[in-house]
Structure 1
Amino acid sequence: MSPKELRIGTRASQLALWQANWVKSELEKRYPGIVVSLVKIKTIGDKILDVPLAQVGGKGLFVKEIEEAMLRGEIDIAVHSMKDVPTDFPEGLGLCCITEREDPRDAVISRGVRFTDLPLGARIGTSALRRQAQLLKVRPDLEMVIIRGNVETRIRKLDEENLDAVILAAAGLKRLGFTEKVAEYLDTELSIPAIGQGALGIECRLSDPVITETIAFFNHPATSYAVRAERALLKRCEGGCQVPIAAHGTVTGSELRLVGFIAAVDGQRSVRGEISGPAAECERLGAELADRLLAQGGREILEEVYQREIANGDETVV
């Protein structure tokens, strides 16, 4: 049994609306006659565009207001980019399914120049500390420039801010039809993706069995195992989406392989490791790899990152 009407909460960015409309379309295909509507909600991450995300402070910058609307009963489900979803949820809400992952890689948008061929001291636009850390580890000569805004805005900044390249998630570029602008897709061994990158998550009220059953078909088991492992690593490290932590899980048959990475923002200190085991034990594997990385120096690296934020007053920026 499916509801007659279903309200989807979403951010109003072009990419968020593409994702929400895709979910809407799939629901309408599966349940002819269902009336699905989109409710656009502005989050704090959408409102503050002149400050790097790492300085805004807090977790859930792109989901908090949407979750509050769900708790008030104004929406039935929410569609999120998994890389934006905190590891903890408000009481009564939860992640009901994780969709099949789109391309998890990072992509280089430049003037036709591949990453390894970028000139000495090239200016690179990105919003993610984990990208900065990994690319500076390989190319310490690069100048990292923090850029904010939606996908189109970031692409425009290549020219507007005289950048040599902009690094964006491949999934968003593919969903919005910007693949012709990509000069190169970075291998996940060079730039390990953000936790959950490329996957969508659908959040709902756990007390609503009709809704949870209605959307259950979206869940992709292999992606779910991989992303749950990545999120378990992040949770054990007590990190948010704006710290230099990366992880990428892949499932082959019933086996899961997880690669994890913790780094200083300048990339000069880092720890990396991997673990394999039964996919069904994904969360245990993620936590175990996190413990290894923290013991190998990751804890000290993260403490320095957080102390630097406090020294700069970043935790007070709202």
Structure 2
Amino acid sequence: MRSIKIGTRNSPLALWQAREVARNLQNNNYKTDITPIVSTGDKNLTEPLYAMGITGVFTKDLDIALLNNEVDIAVHSLKDIPTQLPHNIEIVAVLKRDFPQDVLVRKSTSKNKELHELKIATSSLRRRAFWAKYFPETEFCDIRGNVQTRLQKLEDQDFDATLFSLAAIERMNLAVDYEFLPMMISAPAQGVVAVTARADDHEIKELFEKVNHRETQICIDIERNFLRTLEGGCTAPIGAFAEINDKDEVRFVGRLCSLDGKKCMEIDEIFTWNDQENFGEKLAHIILKDGGRELMQEIKLHLQ
């Protein structure tokens, strides 16, 4: 029987994700071999992501390994995968989404501060903009590295708090106090583990049909189509989250913000899903017609 060679970044969280995919494969009686690969995003921990040409910064090296037949599949956090994939690479499966939320983690000395008083460390344009929408006087600073590195920087450096994906904390079983932030709409596809493969590897694609989680697939397709339609190849503060129930009824919330959080367009819709309509694209066009197109132009000019 073929052993499936799994490519992954070498951070603790990425390795957890790779092992989770391996477990799903082993449950279907496949052998696995995990191959860690250092990504460009992990090599450069000084520049903020938005200054590095963020699209694909964590996926490029794994894409190359995949196209060179060094691995059979690559495992990613889906929010890191660009909406435009390289030629002959496609997403063949997603695991069930677990923790999509963003959370706030403070250092012990800032426990008594109000939210608007906190100095926040984050390199995410979305998190900065969404936070600034509610707390416009906030001072921000950049922070890079894996979860454990950022937690150490939180204790060692001169800021009060940082923002994490809850999935990262829960998957690593970290004993960390955190606060839920209902105003922070998740990044599209946040909290989802994805598997990419070569589009012409039909054996792998057929195998992963058994692994793919249908409800998560429907939701992330809506979120990523919303993102793709809005961004047009430009990184921007965009949030999107879809939930589906057993009657195929979807609730979708989406947001586009200016970089400083002062201008925001939001959408909150409930609809019945079918596989004929591109709901993400349709919802994004509502935002674009409501001033989103002009806002995207402003964001592109600021980021040039």
* Residues 246 and 206 of structure 1: CA distance in aligned 2, closer, same or farther (over 3 Å): same
1:39 is aligned to 2:35: yes
1:273 is aligned to 2:271: no
- Count of equivalent residues: 303
Q: Confirm or deny: 8 A CA contact 2:243 2:251 kept in the other structure.
A: yes
* Residues 262 and 86 of structure 1: CA distance in aligned 2, closer, same or farther (over 3 Å): same
Per-residue deviation at 1:240?
A: 5.7
Per-residue deviation at 1:116?
A: 10
1:226 is aligned to 2:224: no
Per-residue deviation at 1:29?
A: 2.6
Give, in whole Å, the separation in 2 of the partners of 1:284 and 1:112: 46
1:134 is aligned to 2:127: no
Q: Confirm or deny: 8 A CA contact 2:5 2:34 kept in the other structure.
A: yes
Aligned amino acid, residue 298 of structure 1? G
Could you tell me the TM-score, scaled by structure 2's length?
0.93
Could you tell me the TM-score, scaled by structure 1's length?
0.89
Q: Which region of structure 1 is more displaced relative to structure 2, 289-298 or 232-241?
A: 232-241
What's the counterpart of residue 90 of structure 1? 86
CA distances 1:178-216 after superposition (whole Å, capped 9, x unpaired): 1x31331222xx100001000011111222222112222
Aligned amino acid, residue 14 of structure 1? P
What's the counterpart of residue 175 of structure 1? 171
1:255 is aligned to 2:253: no
1:186 is aligned to 2:181: yes
Per-residue deviation at 1:25?
A: 2.1
* Residues 134 and 159 of structure 1: CA distance in aligned 2, closer, same or farther (over 3 Å): same
Aligned amino acid, residue 24 of structure 1? A
Give, in whole Å, the separation in 2 of the partners of 1:38 and 1:99: 17
- C-alpha root-mean-square deviation of aligned residues, in Å? 2.1
The one of 204, 213, 238 aligned to 2:206: 213
* Residues 128 and 242 of structure 1: CA distance in aligned 2, closer, same or farther (over 3 Å): farther
* Residues 105 and 116 of structure 1: CA distance in aligned 2, closer, same or farther (over 3 Å): farther
CA distances 1:70-95 after superposition (whole Å, capped 9, x unpaired): 11111101111010011112222211
Q: Which region of structure 1 is more displaced relative to structure 2, 76-85 or 86-95?
A: 86-95
* Residues 18 and 134 of structure 1: CA distance in aligned 2, closer, same or farther (over 3 Å): same
Give, in whole Å, the separation in 1 of the partners of 2:85 and 2:294: 27
Give, in whole Å, the separation in 2 of the partners of 1:209 and 1:290: 33
What's the counterpart of residue 28 of structure 2? 30
The one of 123, 141, 146 aligned to 1:145: 141
Q: Confirm or deny: 8 A CA contact 1:84 1:241 kept in the other structure.
A: no
What's the counterpart of residue 14 of structure 1? 12
Give, in whole Å, the separation in 2 of the partners of 1:184 and 1:174: 13
What's the counterpart of residue 103 of structure 1? 99
1:74 is aligned to 2:67: no
Per-residue deviation at 1:231?
A: 0.3
Aligned amino acid, residue 184 of structure 1? E
Aligned pairs for 1:195-210 within 5 A: 195-210=188-203
Per-residue deviation at 1:115?
A: 9.4
* Residues 54 and 72 of structure 1: CA distance in aligned 2, closer, same or farther (over 3 Å): same
Q: Confirm or deny: 8 A CA contact 1:258 1:286 kept in the other structure.
A: no
